[in-house]
């Protein structure tokens, strides 16, 4: 009875999961449950958002082109008034430029975010919109005087923002962002782990997405996506029996973070919505931790399987030895505890996994 108690089996999984979550926490990775670690160990597709995830999320305004009669400061003031409460990285770029230009930011009313497209609000009694050309029906609706600049900005890989007043385009801004220093290494490490597909899901235009993809070594890209489109891409992959990890940081990423097998949010740079909906958070915004987490999760699963196999074998041998009269009750109690301790030590080794 003593040696047959399955304590080692009972401890096989929980101890490994706790040790793994603890090791991940020391690496700046917040895991919200052990089940997500098991999912990560099976993942064969990793998809990234672009802005704020593969890029630094610190975009800057490189150029502003306006229609006749409108100044650069006028545009910055209007755009900043609309974007002043937004947490999107592009909004932060607008506000930073407005701050340096020392323009007056007005109070905005009836602020509404068109997910994946931009923001609109009433500023000084007039409707002002900032965002994609699709806010106004597409780039062909942009005046010819601005359209050439719009296309030129896209060709450089920058994100063009169009500023409208009362539905009329007034200016185009060129907003550029730098690729994260560790992005290339992260993608390379994911490939070395045997991840079958690595891709980018982005609401930005194709050339901007392609530029980042080429820089970090990613082949699969999806551009001009709305939040629902990102969700559809993920579910399509899941329908083909892929286990999908999605990494994002913004409000636009919340549906994708929710539907992915494992959603990973950028903790420091991410929005509250992204952090709430994600299963895992990178508290230091270091995407190079993702390959480490996958490797750690795979090791956890192997450890659990070893613990179970060892516990079962150890118990069977102990029961047979006891039935043959080779173990006294005291020896049986000692042997039983030894088996449990060995399983705990096996799991504890996960806490010392090197990155």
DSSP per residue over 59-82, as a string? -EEEEEEE-TT--HHHHHHHHHHH
What pLDDT is stored for residue 10 in this prediction?
Answer: 74
What pLDDT is stored for residue 6 in this prediction?
Answer: 64
Ranges for all domains in the chain classified under CATH 3.40.1110.10: 58-177
Q: What gap in Å lies between CA 55 and CA 182, rounded to an integer?
A: 10
The residue ranking higher by pLDDT, 190 or 342, is: 190
Q: Which region holds residue 250: left if phi is over 0, alpha if psi is between -120 and 50, else beta?
A: beta
Q: Which residues pair with residue 282 across a beta bridge?
A: 29, 266
Model confidence pLDDT, tens digit, residues 2-51: 555 666 667 788 899 999 999 999 999 999 999 999 999 999 999 999 98
Q: How confident is the model at residue 154 (pLDDT cuts 50, 70, 90)?
A: confident
Secondary element (H or E) of residue 7: helix 7-26
* Cβ neighbours for 45, distance < 8 A, ≥ 6 positions apart: 195, 196, 197, 198, 199, 237, 242, 243, 244, 245
Alpha helices in 324-350 (DSSP H): 329-348
CATH among 3.40.50.300, 3.40.605.10, 3.40.1110.10, 3.40.1160.10 for 58-177: 3.40.1110.10
What pLDDT is stored for residue 88 in this prediction?
Answer: 79
Query: Which DSSP letter does residue 134 get?
Result: G
Q: How confident is the model at residue 241 (pLDDT cuts 50, 70, 90)?
A: very high
Least confident of 55-59, 70-74, 178-182: 55-59
199 CA to centre of own chain: 12
What pLDDT is stored for residue 314 in this prediction?
Answer: 63
Q: What is the mean pLDDT of residues 292-311?
A: 92
Token pair for residue 112? 């509404």
Ranges for all domains in the chain classified under CATH 3.40.50.1000: 29-54+180-285
Model-level pTM?
0.80
* Cβ neighbours for 323, distance < 8 A, ≥ 6 positions apart: none
DSSP per residue over 281-346, as a string? EETT--TTHHHHHHHHHHHHHHHHHHHHHHHHHHHHHHHHHHHTT---HHHHHHHHHHHHHHHHHH
The neighbour count for residue 188, using CB atoms within 10 Å, is: 13
Model confidence pLDDT, tens digit, residues 130-153: 988 777 665 556 777 788 888 888
What pLDDT is stored for residue 159 in this prediction?
Answer: 86
How does the average pLDDT of the chain come out, rounded? 86
Fold type of domain 29-54+180-285: Rossmann fold (3.40.50)
What pLDDT is stored for residue 312 in this prediction?
Answer: 73
Do you know the residue count of the chain?
355
Token pair for residue 164? 């409208």
Is 119 in contact with 131 (CB distance < 8 Å)? Answer: yes
pLDDT at 323 over 60: no
What pLDDT is stored for residue 134 in this prediction?
Answer: 72
Model confidence pLDDT, tens digit, residues 258-272: 999 999 998 755 556
Q: What is the mean pLDDT of residues 242-252?
A: 88
**Most confidently modeled range among 37-51, 86-100, 248-262:** 37-51
> Which of the residues are catalytic?
49
């Amino acid at each position: 009875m003593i040696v047959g108690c399955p304590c080692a089996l009972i401890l096989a999984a929980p101890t490994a999961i706790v040790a793994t979550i603890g090791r991940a926490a020391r690496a700046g990775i917040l895991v919200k449950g052990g089940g997500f670690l098991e999912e990560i160990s099976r993942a064969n597709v990793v998809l990234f958002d672009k802005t704020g995830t593969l890029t630094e999320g610190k975009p800057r305004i490189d150029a502003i082109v306006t229609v006749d009669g409108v100044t650069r400061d006028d545009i910055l003031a209007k755009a900043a008034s609309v974007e002043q409460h937004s947490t999107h990285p592009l909004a932060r770029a607008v506000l930073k430029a407005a701050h340096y230009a020392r323009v007056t930011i007005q109070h905005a009313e009836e602020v509404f975010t068109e997910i994946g497209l931009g923001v609109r609000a009433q500023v000084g009694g007039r409707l002002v919109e900032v965002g994609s050309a699709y806010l106004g029906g597409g780039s062909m609706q942009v005046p010819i005087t601005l359209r050439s600049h719009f296309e030129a900005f896209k060709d450089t890989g920058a994100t063009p923002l169009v500023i409208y007043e009362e539905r009329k385009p007034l200016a185009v801004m060129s907003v550029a962002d730098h690729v994260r220093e560790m992005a290339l290494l992260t993608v390379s490490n994911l490939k070395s782990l045997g991840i079958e597909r690595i891709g980018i899901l982005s609401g930005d235009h194709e050339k901007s997405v392609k530029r980042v993809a080429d820089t970090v070594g990613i082949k699969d890209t999806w551009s001009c996506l709305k939040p629902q489109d990102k969700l559809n891409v993920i579910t399509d992959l899941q329908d083909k029996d892929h286990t999908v990890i999605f990494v994002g940081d913004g409000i636009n990423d919340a549906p994708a973070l929710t539907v992915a097998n494992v959603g990973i949010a950028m903790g420091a740079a991410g929005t509250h919505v992204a952090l709430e909906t994600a299963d895992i958070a990178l508290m230091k915004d270091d995407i190079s931790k993702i390959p480490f987490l996958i490797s750690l999760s795979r090791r956890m699963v192997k450890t659990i399987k070893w613990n179970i196999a060892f516990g079962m074998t150890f118990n069977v041998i102990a029961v047979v030895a006891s039935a043959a009269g080779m173990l006294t009750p005291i020896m049986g109690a000692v042997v039983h505890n030894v088996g449990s301790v060995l399983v705990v030590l096996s799991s504890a080794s996960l806490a010392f996994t090197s990155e």
